Structure 1
Amino acid sequence: MTYRILPILIIIATLSSCVSPKVVEEIKQQRQETFQENQEIKEENTSLSTENIELKDKLSRLNSEITQLISDSTTRAASCRQLQSQLDDLNEAYDLLTAKNSQMMSNKAEETKKVLKELQNTREELLKKEDELLTLEQNLSVKQKELLNTQNELIEREKKVMELQSIINRKDSLLSALKDRISSALLGFEGDGLTITQKNGKVYISLEEQLLFASGSWQVDSRGREALSKLSKALENQQDINVLIEGHTDSIPFGGRGQIKDNWDLSVVRATAIVRILTSSSSIDPERLTAAGKGEFVPIQSNSTSAGRSANRRIEIILTPKLYDLYELLED
């Protein structure tokens, strides 16, 4: 009888030692720490905000996945604790059985086999749950890294936006100061066919034909030369400003004179006449100047009236700040 019971005792003793309470307790502690870390990450994620809609969508999706992972981790940990409790109960039942005498163990052989089977099944299920929990932790780590990368990308984007805005603000301030300088230099000419406006990041100086040219001519009169000379002095030290001179006509066809055949030619030769006066009246760098003829194709008023045609016959001097630093930042 004794030699039949002894192997059973050895099997029971071996199985009961496979999962020690200390190991299970350490697993529980690790799960708790993981849960707390996930909670901290969730709270940190909640504080994120972004002006970039695409990144906000990505952050929201990642936060949702992390919340689900945390919930799954909590569920798995609770399941492990429940299984451990069941294992403890079974171990207690096993201890009671082993305390009985040989006769009782003989009579309860089938029950002992059942308990052993339950112990084995419980142990296998516990190992399975531990594997699942480990997988969840690994997935959570990956999502945390993705979230950190997204946060860093968002910070860099916001930094670049702030730098761009700073550059734009500096350019706007430069243009405002330049407009004030030019308005001061040309104070006696405003209202006499000259207007100065600032829009779209540029300063526009519009000079009507009456201030510069006789009808059909490209020779600038003395009053116009005086205005252009003062303008060139105001611009010569503005090295970060490019100057575009555009000639414009009305829609009435130009009769032609020498090599000047039509409104296209007239608008171009008038623009180049302005360029020559600007360069001869100051030390302004010619590389900053561009002359262009628009003919009658960019009117500011209707050509159907005399007043409209008069307004369309004009020279526009467009001042544009150089944006090298802005372009470099955009390329980066």
Structure 2
Amino acid sequence: MAPIGVGLIGFGLAGARLHAPVIAAVAGLRIAAIMTSRVAEAQAAFPDAAVVAAPDALLTRDDVELVVVASPNPSHAPLARAALAAGKHVVVDKPFVTDPADGDALIADARAAGRVLSVYHNRRWDADFLTVRELLASGRLGEIALAEFCWDRLRPAIKPGWREEPGDGSGVLADLAPHMIDQMLALFGMPDTVAADIVRQRAAARVDDYFDLTFRYGTRRVRIASSTLVAAPRPRFALHGENGSFVKHGIDPQEAMLRAGGLDPATFGVEAASAWGVLTDADGQARAIPSARGDWRGFYRAMIAAIRTAAPPPVDPADALAGLRLIAHARAAADTGLRVCATA
């Protein structure tokens, strides 16, 4: 069977580093066209792909069956809507949309068009998350009382670009919380309530650069937090249960590997032993737990199956939309200083 032709909209960080090399490494996919103003970069990376300047020029191509939207956040909804209207299957980079109402509309559009719509929550294929999921499924920690997911950086200077400028989809909450909340929902389901602290800490910041969200699941607490002023990052995952604790530092290596210039099939997603998490049992005995192998290619392999065999999409857009609604509730909680019902 001929490979699925992919049209990539956007060739910035997300398009050029987090999507394109992953797509290119998956058998059954072919990058047919790229829409970008970075013509020379795109042509150098993918000389066999057409490079176009406008969305319509990509969406009208017969050799494009799947459109990947990797453009700035506010453009996700209109571009995805146009792609579905053109009869294409669609992957949207996170966040799915900036307004949850647009997400509802896109899901309805995809259903009406009979096309596959998914959201690139590739962090479900992270080494650390896969390890945590396996550990929870094993029952070795027992009932979880407290789970903390942190994603810290030291970025005292303001980076140029739309992510640091006021607008829909800007700020660290919109950047990192969709992934972290998606992981929380995959592990624990929908919470009862959320309390939140969302602020600008850097003097020159114009958008939020710190958040700390606490979700209640009965007596369980799940905390999701990020700061841009932390030189010694907190654990990426820390889970504490009646039988022990698991603590994992460091960020999954796949993005760093892709930024470094490529995807080596032999080593992609493999964490060094020095990065493995530590399980401490109820008797205080600690031992390293080998990390599962992460592999973002799994997302696109599942996307092929969804298109070719009507398998479920790799990420149900309804899941992504549920996470965005929780972010909206968190913003309301931060504004009022009150806990907000997560299912309202």
With the length of structure 1 as denominator, give the TM-score of the two structures: 0.17
| Greater helix fraction, Structure 1 or Structure 2 | 1
**Higher RCO structure, 1 or 2 (CA under 8 Å, sep 6+):** 2
| Greater strand fraction, Structure 1 or Structure 2 | 2
Q: Look at both structures and tell me which one has the larger radius of gyration over its CA atoms.
A: 1
